[in-house]
Amino acid sequence: MTWSLRKSTEEGKGLGSVLEKEQLCPVLLSSLYIESYAACRTMKESKMKRTNRRGVRRRRTTVLPWALIIQILLRLPVKSLVRFKSVCRSWFSLISDPNFAISHFELAAASTERLLLLESIVPEARSIDFNAPLHDDSASATLNLNSLQPEFYWDQILGSCRGFVLLDCGQSLCLWNPSTGIHKQVCHSPIAWNMDVMFCTFLYGFGYDPSTDDYLVVQASYDVNSEAVTTRVEFFSVRANAWKEIEGIHLSYMNCCDDPRTGSLLNGAIHWLAYSNDASRNVIVVFDLTERSFSEILLPEDLACQFDFCELRVLGDFLCVHVMGYHECPLQIWVMKEYKIHSSWTRSVDVPVDEIPTKCFSLICATKNGDIVGRTDGDSGLVKCNNEGEFLEHRSYYDGRRGSQMIVYTESLLSLPYDSDQAEED
Amino acid sequence: MAERGESSEAVMLKKTEEEKLRKGKMIVGDESKAGYEEEGKKVKLVTSDGVTMEVEISIVKEMEIIQTFIGATDTDDSFIFPISNVSSHILNQIIELVKGEYDQELAKKLSHDELKEILVAANYLNMKTLFHFIATAIANVIQNKSVEFVRDFFGIVNDFTEEEEAELRKTNAWAFEGVDED
């Protein structure tokens, strides 16, 4: 049943009680919404007299019950909903309601993935609908950063999950929903910022644990001066608002410190490329967000490349590894067609870089119809190729400047959970 | 939905005064003993404008409100179901949509009022697939439209002050880019 909406984990007040009902659209509304709907009155008949499409004079407009309006709004993309906050007060309250956001996200009928492009020097943020043609101006919008601190800047994008993007802002980390402007500062881990020991943080991840309705920021580090490379893993629970080290794991992974890897989310787990000291080779490290446990996925045997040029991505529902395309070498894509089944690694298309202006191309994501989207280095540009690897289009967003970063995020209206003893941030 | 054949034409019968009387008793003559599941079988529905329509059983099966009635009684075909919230025009549109296997192209031909009335009817008749289809169709109509279009579409009066509205538009300026002409 598509409209059987999630039972609210919050107190079943307000909208929650409207959405929980088994009945399709209950006439019974909570007092809150009856009041707000009453404020949203119907226009006078005289105002509505105009000609409709069929040229017939319309006497009046069919007025939909509030519960049915909610059902329509649940099927709209985030961008439309953010705009329609301006329709009237009752729509504003509804669209701002956390329970509505959860129902909207879980109905997923209108979920849209967009690309966030951050230019760190300016600073400027742009949101790009990569499913639309890149040259379509309406597909790209400049985001408002006023809700963030005036001195806000970012060093790096570290992850993305359910509409939130994790940013490293130097003195702290920041969780930011680019669609709504909701954000939260997260202090750095006291362990990795211990001044006595030189820890190198080489893996960053950000994910959601549905069993506890909590977001986790995960990072792995090792002591660079220690002979035995022991991986330390710690996570920040947004709900608990605290860092915690995961004890009793005996892992030994490492990467170059100046090239920390950000995780790829798939099937409730974060995935990274890392070098395994025990196996003396590169592997995919998997962290299960609910079990809080680690496992490994081996890379395809025929994948031979320098680690620096390899990256992990999620294309559609598949884990994939790609080798960056550079001058004579085409972009190489390997797809794991069945999750955790090693024999299912398949070499997908090669994308030649001849037609790409900077002759350098790395994979970012795939569109709904299977086109490949990648970035070019040096010009903050995007390139789109079809699923045969044929060049379709290129667009540069910030000419001549460097230091921009990109990540795919799913649009959502979600806010962050917090325990009652923790004051909500502004 | 594949079992629906061409024979499923809904027959519209103008209601006579006599039928109106019978409607009061909810029973008409011709008490056939044929099974309720029978292919091509029709169920009589009386619409809000007093029209009795014979609707193919495969379509009626999607109307859970009527299924509840049928389930509660014997599998008898002699009932006439009054659907007092749905006009014959809207019921015809619903039949076309169900027979057309919910093609979004069909929804594009509907007027805004028809879309809204079908949504209300789908909710009343408890037709889940139709409800989702029409709610999605309405969402498609409004998703790239302006705030003014949406107010007009739903008959909503703006109750923000000018300052409040300007502030909201400023804060969410990105969402106002690339909006279709009304």
Question: Cβ(A376)–Cβ(A393) under 8 Å?
Answer: no
pLDDT score of B22: 43
Comparing A23 with B36, the larger pLDDT belongs to: B36
Instruction: Please give the pLDDT value at position A277.
Output: 87
Distance CA A361, CA A350 (A): 11
Residue B97 has pLDDT above 50, yes or no: yes
pLDDT of A52 over the 50 cut: no
Nearest-by-Cβ selection for A71 from B135, B171, B178: B135
- A83 at the B interface (CB within 8 A)? yes
| Range A246-274 average pLDDT | 86
What's the CATH class of domain B6-101?
Answer: alpha beta
The pLDDT assigned to A320 comes to: 93
- Whether the CB of B30 is below 8 Å from some CB of chain A: the reply is no
> A86 — contact with chain B (CB < 8 Å)?
yes
**B16-71 pLDDT, tens digit each:** 444 444 443 333 334 444 444 555 678 889 999 999 999 988 888 899 888 877 76
Task: Give residue B71's pLDDT.
Answer: 63
What local confidence, expressed as pLDDT, does residue A319 receive? Answer: 95
State percent of chain A over pLDDT 70: 76
Q: Is the Cβ of A342 closer than 8 Å to some Cβ of chain B? A: no
**Predicted pLDDT of residue A217:** 96
**CA pair distance B140, A12, nearest whole angstrom:** 30
Q: What is the pLDDT of residues A333-377, one digit of tens each?
A: 999 999 999 999 999 888 888 888 778 888 999 999 899 999 887
Owning domain of residue A88: 15-49+62-107
Inter-chain CB pairs, A–B, below 8 Å: 137
Convert A303-339 to b/e letters by CB count within 10 Å (16 or more is b).
Answer: eeeeeeebbbbbbeebbbbbbbbbeeebbbbbbbeee
Cβ(A37)–Cβ(B92) under 8 Å? Answer: no
ipTM of the predicted structure? Answer: 0.79
State the Cα–Cα distance between residues B142 and A141, nearest whole angstrom: 20
Note which residues in 101-120 of chain B have CB less than 8 A from chain A: 111-113, 116-117, 119-120
Residue B89 touches partner A, C-beta closer than 8 Å: no
* Residue B56 to chain A, least CA–CA distance (Å): 24
pLDDT at position A21: 36
CA distance B12 to chain A (A): 24
pLDDT band at A303 (very low <50, low <70, confident <90, very high): confident
Residues of chain A contacting B176 with CB distance shorter than 8 Å? 83
> Is-contact A370 A413, C-beta < 8 A?
no
Chain A residue closest to B148 (CA)?
A87
Kindly report the average pLDDT of chain A as a whole number. 79
Partner A contacted by B161 (CB < 8 A): no
How much is the average pLDDT of B157-168? 96
> What angle, 0 to 180 degrees and rounded to 10, lies between the N-to-C axes of helices A89-96 and A98-107?
70
Is there a contact between A64 and B120 if contact means CB atoms under 8 Å apart? yes
Which residue of chain A has the CA closest to B136? A75
Q: Of B136, B154, B160, which to mutate for an interface test with A (greatest number of A Cβ within 10 Å)?
A: B154
φ, ψ (nearest 5 deg) of residue A321: -115, 135
Tell me, what's the pLDDT at A389?
Answer: 87
**Is residue A16 scored above 60 in pLDDT?**
no
- The pLDDT assigned to A400 comes to 54
**Amino acid of residue A399:** D
Q: Tens digits of per-residue pLDDT, A144-154?
A: 676 666 555 66
Q: Do A137 and B178 lie within an 8 Å CB cutoff? A: yes
Whether A69 has a pLDDT exceeding 60, the answer reads yes
Q: Which residue, A350, A333, A398, A410, is CA-closest to A130?
A: A410
Predicted local distance difference test score (pLDDT) of residue A424: 44
Q: What percent of chain A has pLDDT over 90?
A: 39
Distance from CA of A180 to the nearest CA of B (A): 8
Q: Is cis: bond before A123, omega within 30 of 0? A: yes
Number of domains comprising chain A: 1
Higher-confidence residue: B167 or A120? B167
The amino acid that residue B168 corresponds to is: L
Whether residue A401 has pLDDT greater than 70: no
Q: What is the pLDDT of residue A216?
A: 96
Q: Is B181 on the interface with A (CB under 8 A)?
A: no
- A247 or A289: whose pLDDT is higher? A289
- Which of these ranges, A36-50, A386-400, B139-153, has the smallest mean pLDDT? A36-50
pLDDT higher than threshold 70 for residue A22: no
Q: What is the DSSP letter of A217?
A: E
Q: Does residue B179 sit at the A interface (CB-CB below 8 Å)? A: yes
pLDDT at residue A218, rounded to an integer: 95
Distance CA A322, CA A331 (A): 7
Instruction: Give the pTM.
Output: 0.76
Higher pLDDT: A267 or B72? It is A267
| B175/A80 touch (CB, cutoff 8 Å), yes or no | yes
Of the candidate ranges A34-38, A415-419, B62-66, B89-93, the one whose mean pLDDT is the lowest: A34-38
User: Structural domain boundaries of chain B?
Assistant: 6-101, 147-175
